[in-house]
């Protein structure tokens, strides 16, 4: 993660987010302008993760899982907002039109926290004893 290639990818994400804001404002697309800060946050987060010492031996795993699940949230949001209505031939109106924008995040963010927590326990990085420690203490 501390390679010039990964650094360039982080910077590219930040740059693309800035460009998207400019294009969205020029085209009068406030939704795209409102979502573009996600690129700033993810690019900045990736650069920061790559530059600091890992907080645990499996920190890369948690970062990878969180990023992959974040990509899944983004995909499902895009599909529900753009594709599902066209596929099903329906158009949501009123408050219901907001649901496709927030439903994937409402499900995905807690699911990500639960999944990362599960693997922290599985890799014994939650502070609790693992099976080897319990066996060694009892012997």
- List the one residue out of 59, 42, 35, 38 whose CA is nearest residue 6: 42
pTM of the model: 0.71
- Give yes or no: residues 81 and 104 share one domain: yes
* Residue 114 sits in the same domain as residue 135: yes
Environment class of 10 (CB within 10 Å of its CB; exposed 0-12, middle 13-18, buried 19+): buried
Helices (H), 28-98: 30-35, 37-51, 59-78, 85-88
- Is 73 found in the same domain as 38? no
Condensed to tens digits (0 to 9), the pLDDT of residues 13-42 reads: 999 999 999 998 999 888 778 778 888 888
Q: Do residues 46 and 4 share a domain?
A: yes
In the DSSP assignment, the letter for residue 89 is T
For residues 131 and 96, membership in a common domain is answered with yes
Question: Is the same domain home to 78 and 38?
Answer: no
- How many domains, in total, are found in the chain? 2
Same domain, 65 and 96: yes
Whether residues 99 and 112 fall in one domain? yes
What residues make up the domain containing 64? Answer: 55-139
Same domain, 60 and 85: yes
Are 85 and 111 in a shared domain? Answer: yes
Average pLDDT of span 63-91: 88
Task: Give 99-110 pLDDT, tens digit per residue.
Answer: 888 999 999 999
Quick one: 5 and 59 in the same domain?
Answer: no
Gap between the Cα atoms of 11 and 13, Å rounded: 5
Please indicate, yes or no, whether residues 67 and 37 belong to a single structural domain of this protein.
no
Which pLDDT does position 137 carry in this prediction? 42
């Amino acid at each position: 993660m501390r390679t010039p290639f990964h650094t360039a990818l982080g910077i590219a994400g930040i740059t693309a987010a800035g460009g998207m804001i400019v294009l969205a404002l020029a085209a009068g697309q406030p939704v795209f302008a409102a979502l573009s800060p996600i690129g700033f946050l993810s690019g900045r987060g990736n650069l920061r993760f790559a530059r600091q010492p890992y907080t645990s031996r499996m920190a890369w795993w948690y970062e990878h899982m969180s990023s992959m699940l974040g990509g899944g949230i983004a995909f499902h949001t895009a599909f529900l907002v753009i594709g599902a209505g066209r596929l099903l031939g329906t158009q949501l109106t009123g408050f219901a039109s907001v649901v496709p924008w927030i439903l994937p995040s409402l499900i995905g963010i807690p699911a990500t926290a639960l999944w990362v927590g599960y693997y922290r326990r599985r890799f014994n990085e939650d502070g609790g004893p693992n099976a080897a420690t319990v066996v060694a203490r009892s012997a």
